[in-house]
Chains A and B, each alone.
Chain A
């Protein structure tokens, strides 16, 4: 079954003669996505660049509101046209799709790129049978008969680990458990054999017990199909062992990007450090207070100059609030970060020590909140050691 299905995938790719096998699968250059709202222009994604090779996986990590969901939807071109300003270049297989119309994208959506959404309960059509939701994209993208599409759908459900696939095809989403629903959504996304899969917080809405299963399934499918994947999550723990590379987003920008092992071993950005610290560790005693990052993500309307993390950063110096740090290469290949006083460097340690000594960070003193300890600028949210 699966073999035949792979054969079909080859058929569809022939429709895109511009395809080149050299170069990265996806190349994103300086993508900006702004929303016009009654309160002003929201800079949801503000100049993001990265590239992704075939069969590789990228984890995009950030707090809610960091723009990671908007980034994935921008790249895929799924945002509404109205009140949205999009800039930058998005190249898929060497073809520019950043300015592509809905009609052009329609041939790419589903068959070349697919997306798994956060909440399978709301992302599956409640009044359409599961089988139909799978076969409709098969029928639309591939030139196959209805009965063959049904067979494929059944095979797909089996391949994503759904027992009694035939029966499930005739059920409605609400008749399935959360885990099964997410498996169905994965089956839908994989149906036409995309080369690139976006998984937008694929496990956030699920029970903890099912989360690992779904992530394993995604990883297996990704490897088996040699498919590139972008895994978007707020949880560094989710991407830790499962992606080749990780991009950390903060306030609409990538602030650090590195191969997974490098990032965890040798992080440069204080924000990444804070994120890593906020992962609960098994070694911790129970009832240990979690390490939270003080303060809230900045509002994205008219963002301030300087580093956007500065107001919450224990390393922040005057330079940080005056000048925005560029994304620069570290000594490890493929590792980029945006910080003036990186973690683990003499400048960084120096800055942290100075702030500790003064009992304040530059950003906090600039805000006029004088004596507050540097690591807990809003005192109520203390708890950082």
Chain B
């Protein structure tokens, strides 16, 4: 349905390109001056400070998640009485069963949660689940969506129509509603983590499918593809050797955004009480755990710690996606 493209939208990619380099005014003046030769926006060749920051955060997070058991942190389900009773320094209200240690307490950098767990440890072990779900689901989406998009863009015609219709239908149900419905029916059949990976993976299929198709359409028209065909290369070989490598940057850029979306969705599902079970730490779980304390005005830090991890991770992923897009000059699809 939403295929209708406004006539203006072409060229916005260029505008984005120019605005990031601050060249808008220059491009205009150059045009007026009647000079068109040899002016190209100075593309950044090196990664900027922001990109490095994003890489450091994501890299550190992934590393910490992998080596969590050997890090000098508490276990995720280890209970600390001083956290629970709120007797540690800098504790908040000393309510029975209510108070909990706030961040920057001795031994508990990020404070503790309602059950007396160390929040830093919960967040790092939570990263395991959040990242596995995020990358797993998008990996699923890349495999299925990428394949569909490649086939649709390469063969065109009937195959294209059918696949596009299929992707459109998947887009016809709002993502979280679809995820809710899928988790509802899958529950009890497979482990919770797999439910999330599959349910959230299916959501990312149409997005990745569309971007792959759009880029495949463009690249399949190129001379080297025609050349390969003239040399008698098989379709499959052309697709994987000639087209796919060129489509990958676009897929990669969207996949990074997809991971961000899935991480947020996982947290939302967890918040709704439908995702992972309570004992499995995840960022959404931390938020869910601190929800009551926040609304009761006892302390907000539990929710904010979980939120901060989600925010920084999504921010980093979005930023890197932008960098990839700018670098490989990826054109946005209609959606």
Contact = CB atoms under 8 A, between A and B. Distances in A.
A and B touch in the complex (CB under 8 A): yes
Contacts of B35: 42, 65, 299-300
Contacts of B33: 35, 37, 42, 44, 65, 67, 70, 300
Given A37-B39, A38-B23, A38-B42, A65 B28 contact: no
Given A37-B39, A38-B42, A39-B39, A83 B26 contact: yes
Contacts of A39: 38-39
Nearest to B29: A35
Given A38-B42, A39-B39, A83 B32 contact: no
Interface in B254-294: none
Interface in A290-344: 299-300
B34 interface: yes
B30 interface: yes
Interface in B225-245: none
Nearest to B38: A39
Interface in B1-58: 23, 25-26, 28-30, 32-35, 38-39, 42
Nearest to A79: B32
A42 B26 CA distance: 11
A42 B30 CA distance: 8
A64 B39 contact: no
26 contacts: A35-B29, A35-B30, A35-B32, A36-B29, A38-B26, A38-B39, A38-B42, A42-B29, A42-B30, A42-B33, A44-B32, A65-B34, A65-B35, A67-B33, A67-B34, A69-B32, A69-B34, A70-B34, A73-B32, A79-B32, A80-B25, A80-B29, A83-B29, A84-B29, A300-B33, A300-B35
Interface string B110-145: 000000000000000000000000000000000000
Contacts of A37: 26, 29-30, 33, 39
A4 interface: no
B18 to A, nearest CB: 11
A80 B42 CA distance: 22
Contacts of B28: 80
A82 interface: yes
B58 to A, nearest CB: 33
Interface residues of B, number: 13
Contacts of A70: 32-34
A300 B37 CA distance: 12
Interface string A138-162: 0000000000000000000000000
Contacts of A38: 23, 26, 39, 42
A83 B34 contact: no
A175 B29 CA distance: 31
Interface in A36-87: 36-39, 42, 44, 64-67, 69-70, 73, 79-80, 82-84
A79 B33 CA distance: 11
B103 to A, nearest CB: 45
B1 to A, nearest CB: 23
Nearest to A64: B34
A36 B34 contact: no
Contacts of A64: 34
Contacts of B42: 38
Contacts of A79: 29, 32
Given A38-B42, A80-B25, 4 more contacts: A42-B35, A83-B25, A83-B26, A84-B29
Contacts of B34: 44, 64-67, 69-70
Interface in A63-116: 64-67, 69-70, 73, 79-80, 82-84
B181 to A, nearest CB: 41
A64 B39 CA distance: 17
B128 to A, nearest CB: 47
A36 B42 CA distance: 15
Contacts of A67: 33-34
Contacts of A44: 32-34
Interface string A224-262: 000000000000000000000000000000000000000
Contacts of B38: 39
Contacts of A73: 32
A66 B34 CA distance: 8
Contacts of A300: 33, 35
Nearest to B7: A126
Contacts of A83: 25-26, 29
A73 B42 CA distance: 28
Nearest to B40: A38
Contacts of B29: 35-37, 42, 79-80, 83-84
A80 B29 CA distance: 8
A44 B34 CA distance: 9
A84 B28 CA distance: 11
A35 B23 CA distance: 13
Contact of B26 (A36, A66, A299): A36
Nearest to A68: B34
